[in-house]
Amino acid sequence: MPKGEVLEFSEGLEEQNKTIEREEILKKLNVPNIIEVYANLSLIWRADKRLALAVIIRDGLALHYASAELQNDPEVVEAAVANTELAWPFASNDMQARRFEIMARIESKLKSGRAERITELQRETQREMEASHEYSRELERIKAIITKNFWKSPDPEKNIRIMAKELAMDPKEVWKVIEEAHTPEILVKVSNKPLVEALDQKKIEMYCLLEALKEAGFTPAVWTLGNKKWQLKKLELTGAKKYFDEEHIFVAENEKTDEKTSELRRIFDKILEDKSRGRPIHVYIVDDKQKEIDAAMGLSQVYEQQGIIIHNFRFDLKNSQADGTKFYGWILEEREKHSNLVLVLDFDQVIADTNGALDQACKNILIRKSKQEKQESDHAMAA
């Protein structure tokens, strides 16, 4: 296994990114099963006071999942027990020792009418939750524009001006933002240890899937769909290109499955040209789209007669039973059965989390637009 990248659960996040992430989480918390969603957040976010208050004013029992520090915070505990006294068992011992004092303060506030149950910070949190809906709508608008004019465009460079006009941005700046979102960070990673154990140690050791495959002796091919110039650019920007021989990169530019299948035929034919390989040859197709897998498996009968046995793996980054770690373990087991093996990987959502890159690009555009609007507003006020 190659040397891993250790992802620590850092105490602080860069403030601007943290604000954006908090807005995303606040949006997710606006659901009936709010406690369940809150309980599944990372420790960093369950230690965030603003988020805790947003949840607790709706259901005080969420105190159970807040960090130990917040369970010892008078304001958070007061908000929880003001919502329901059933939250008391989840408060710290120090706070429980102050039970009568806290209850008296709540009763006093309710009687005086000066404060109800919500502090100014809690009211601010509610306003943030409302603002998060507007933020979410704008983010979705940006995502729709980029998807239509770039992600699913046969010629993204040609459409960049149209997209920039809809976003009210300079075309060069839009292109720069999109490229900057495609970094080695989006390459799919695998873990070398069980998640529970990693979380107990407060760190997860992660490895680039391509690096892990290289270290294990695989020399895969990439089989992908999209504008060829942009697909090759993504391979370069993410650093994935170094893991593939030039002759093992296959790009189908037409959205029709037939063209992608024709590229797959080229791969099979190239494999058959290698007379040094024994027979049968086991080719493993790894893709996140079922229709592509079905198209590949549709060639089984033709190529099986020539000595190629086609296998497949339906990849799903969001499913622990089909993600990078699961696939890596599975392909190692398969090689034990079939040593004469060829691996063919899709790029988008298999080699790299390009959906994640799209989300990041949209957030970066929103940040730039917000800064631009603020500058324009400041200039207008100064004039």
Q: What is the mean pLDDT of residues 347-354?
A: 95
Per-residue exposure over 197-229, b if at least 16 CB sit within 10 Å of its own CB, e if not: ebeeeeebbbbbbbbbbeeeebebbbbbbbbee
Task: Say which residues have a Cβ less than 8 Å from residue 246's Cβ, sequence separation at least 6.
Answer: none
Rounded-to-integer distance, Cα 273 and Cα 197, Å: 47
Domain boundary among 118, 142, 160: 118
- 212 in a structural domain: no
| Same-domain check for residues 298 and 371 | no
- 87 in a structural domain: yes
| Same-domain check for residues 108 and 39 | yes
Selection from 364, 371, 367 nearest residue 177 by Cα: 364
What is the tens place of the pLDDT at every residue in 293-319? 999 999 999 999 999 999 999 999 988
Give helix then strand counts, H and E, for the chain: 19, 8
- 51 in a structural domain: yes
- 19 in a structural domain: yes
Rounded-to-integer distance, Cα 174 and Cα 171, Å: 5
| Same-domain check for residues 316 and 222 | yes
Give the lowest-confidence range in 102-106, 176-180, 311-315: 102-106
Q: What is the mean pLDDT of residues 3-25?
A: 52
- 191 in a structural domain: no
Q: Is the pLDDT of residue 203 over 70?
A: no
pLDDT band at 353 (very low <50, low <70, confident <90, very high): very high
| Same-domain check for residues 134 and 37 | no
Residue 72 belongs to domain spanning: 9-118
> Higher pLDDT residue, 10 or 245?
245
| Same-domain check for residues 70 and 158 | no
What values do phi and psi take at 263, rounded to 5? Answer: -65, -35
Domain boundary among 63, 85, 118: 118
Rounded-to-integer distance, Cα 253 and Cα 244, Å: 19
| Same-domain check for residues 347 and 374 | no
pLDDT over 70 for what percent of the chain? Answer: 82
Provide the number of structural domains found in the chain: 3
- E strand or H helix at 1, and its extent? none
| Same-domain check for residues 111 and 130 | no
Q: Is the pLDDT of residue 106 over 50?
A: yes
| Same-domain check for residues 267 and 371 | no
Structure-token match 């933002």, residue found: 177
| Same-domain check for residues 14 and 58 | yes
| Same-domain check for residues 222 and 341 | yes
> Higher pLDDT residue, 224 or 126?
224
What is the tens place of the pLDDT at every residue in 264-280? 999 999 999 887 778 89
| Same-domain check for residues 86 and 155 | no
Rounded-to-integer distance, Cα 230 and Cα 358, Å: 14
- 2 in a structural domain: no
- 193 in a structural domain: no
Angle at alpha carbon of residue 189, lines to 185 and 195, rounded to 5°: 125
The pTM of this model reads 0.65
- Residue 383 is predicted with a pLDDT of 66
- Residue 100 is predicted with a pLDDT of 86
Domain boundary among 100, 118, 136: 118
- 195 in a structural domain: no
Q: Rounded mean pLDDT of the chain?
A: 82
| Same-domain check for residues 101 and 131 | no
Residues facing 224 on adjacent strands: 251
